[in-house]
Structure 1
């Protein structure tokens, strides 16, 4: 094997390229990315970078010179338009045909687009790329209300930044609580209180209808007829895996590019990693798709090892984080399917953890300004330790004694 081609220059693609070299691969590595910037961190785009507190170069995962030094042919501003599996080639939007022996798809998960009147008006934003964050930044200093559609992590993080810059903010969430897909009621209630205490006009059970304006947005209209005047809007209604290339190439796709435990697709010469994949989790006994930096990194490491002949099973413990105001949420594990919930600490003090148990063992932890619970949660869940709910709830009990 002499040529490995990586489509996607995000966290997963970059990690795979680095891991291939670290794993001893001496052949040609070509990585193509549609954006002009070298691989960079996305989480700060809704936080420090949006605020202007972080320079672009500090987002980069590696200096641009690193790729040259490692003989990684990094092609930026180039998008793949098609895969010919039989010929083992990829065509780019520049008309070039690139050959591969093994291909990695690391195409990510762009934001879901809002299908509603006025969604294409100037002033309606999405947030995934550097360019998106830069286009959004002027709203922090411009007059007028900001409307955010969707109370997931991106929406709430941008709401926090906007309020910290003195903007009036309305958040519209169709569900009865924020973070409904990913968190329990105690966590949702905490964030609802946090945002309202910081002056956010948070509307739950709000049915969005349309944006209004001539060329530029001037209002968001709800289905009950209410119009909320605004100067800008952010749509944060989730992300959809980028699977077009895989589908058109005839690969198996179902809520992501379907891979096995080795990150291999239905074509043995093609692997996939990161937000775009639907993979089997031995830990949870089901298939899943995760949107997180740790998942992208660890799955890319496994994919890289297996692309050069390894047999590494991907079964990392998922974890996530979010920063809003003076609050850091750190989550380890997935809480879906829990049969008992334990709150440790005091939500009113902005320091507590919610532990999710199943059959007496740790399934997940949401730690809010509580790094110790996050760190111990990782250890206890990994160890499969039996946990006493009463001891978990007692802040006088050292978590280390539970291992």
Structure 2
């Protein structure tokens, strides 16, 4: 069928890239962008990084585009501040409250929502860190010197802790698992990365959960499962996210840890594609089904989904080597590939101590193939490993490359 109307649900990075890609592909029909927040699309990574660090607390919100550009140059009809509440795939309409928005092609880019601790919804001073409004509230509390407890030692929680530490704020990180970051980097490397907290003066308590968050209308203390009490004026909950798919239940779109898609990001429903955190798609590069919660995937998938939605007969598979980064205490952590490995080997530096703990690289093996790479302050090399993974490089080739890099570095130091 001819496509004259595109609807993008989710005023996110993925949603914005879908809009831009459609126009770049020459689409001249109508585009409607539906967003639950009142804000224009904005960049999320800075919210837990530079946005929280000391400096000018009047820092501007990280919007991608102005309203004038979206409306006048890209020709987008903006429906912000009202979330999609349902989908009718028979009539091809997105339901927004009492309204129905018709589409010929639909891009689902609703992202994810943070997990919260039950019973804390009405407790002042308890926040997740997912939205711009969350970040503003957390920054204001840190500016006031709030004693801070971060629940969850993942990347978002750890970035918040880093920002608090740089402000001189008392901060404790609580992690229920004995080893943090297992899902993101694997068990072998999780503890090595987590040690950055203690090396920078942040208290880290692993292997104990939270029994209660207490206070008279406002948080005053966090009670841990082992009975420890930590006084707190601010609690930031960073215990993961879930795909934002409640509005799709009963619609006929298959849901399983997100929106289930094929390698082209198609949902199996005519005209409906998904992108970003919400998309559970088959990645042909790694040969596994993935749902990626990172900036790079959101940007690339949004554009790919729009192009395929406009020309489904010639839809191209979207494959990638996943990449994400995180900044803690002036240290850049980068990961490429998959942490689902048979073996992890440190090929440069030593994360256990000494000066080499400030820079190290680990490689991940699955079978006889290089499947992942983790670098701490290894910006000069990490993308080389990403290229190797994308080309299906063997494990022996990866180790040989790493040895050549070490040899060259030693020679340069002489």
TM-score by length of 1: 0.93
1:396 to 382, 406, 412: 406
1:306 positional shift: 0.8
Task: Map 1:326-337 onto structure 2 (within 5 A).
Answer: 326-337=330-341
Q: Equivalences for 1:288-367 in 2 at 5 Å? A: 288-309=290-311, 310-347=314-351, 348-349=355-356, 350-367=358-375
- Correspondent of 1:113 among 109, 113, 116: 116
Q: Could you say if the C-alpha distance between residues 55 and 369 of structure 1 is closer, same or farther in structure 2, counting changes exceeding 3 Å? A: farther
**Using the alignment, how far apart are the partners of 1:55 and 1:63 within structure 2?**
19
1:269 — aligned with what? 271
Matches within 5 A, 1:89-238: 89-93=93-97, 95-115=98-118, 117-118=119-120, 120-185=122-187, 187-238=189-240
CA distance in structure 2 between the partners assigned to 1:388 and 1:183 by the alignment: 18
Quote how far apart the aligned CAs of 1:361 are: 2.8
Question: What is the root-mean-square deviation of aligned Cα atoms in Å?
Answer: 2.0
Question: Which sections of structure 2, spanning at least 5 residues, go unmatched?
Answer: 410-414
Aligned to 2:412: none
- Give the structure 1 partner of residue 92 of structure 2: 88
Q: CA deviation at 1:185?
A: 4.8
Q: 1:331 to 1:360 in 2, by over 3 A?
A: same
Contact 1:338–1:363 (CA under 8 A) maintained in structure 2: no
CA contact (8 A) 2:171 2:202 kept: yes
Q: Cα deviations across residues 204-249 of structure 1 (Å, max 9, x unaligned)? A: 1012111011101111111222221111101100000011122231
Could you state the TM-score of these two structures normalised by the residue count of structure 2? Answer: 0.91
Shift of 1:388: 5.2
CA distance in 2, matches of 1:136, 1:149: 14
Given the superposition, is the C-alpha separation of residues 394 and 265 from structure 1 closer, same or farther in structure 2, using an over 3 Å criterion? Answer: same
CA contact (8 A) 1:344 1:394 kept: no
Large movers: runs of 4+ above 4 Å: 52-58
Is contact 1:49–1:133 with CA below 8 Å preserved after alignment?
yes
Write the mapping of 1:3-42 to structure 2, written as runs, cut at 5 A. 3-42=5-44
* Cα shift readout 1:293-331 (whole Å, capped 9, x = no counterpart): 111111112111111113110111110000111100111
- Number of the residue aligned with 1:64: 67
CA distance in 1, matches of 2:362, 2:31: 44
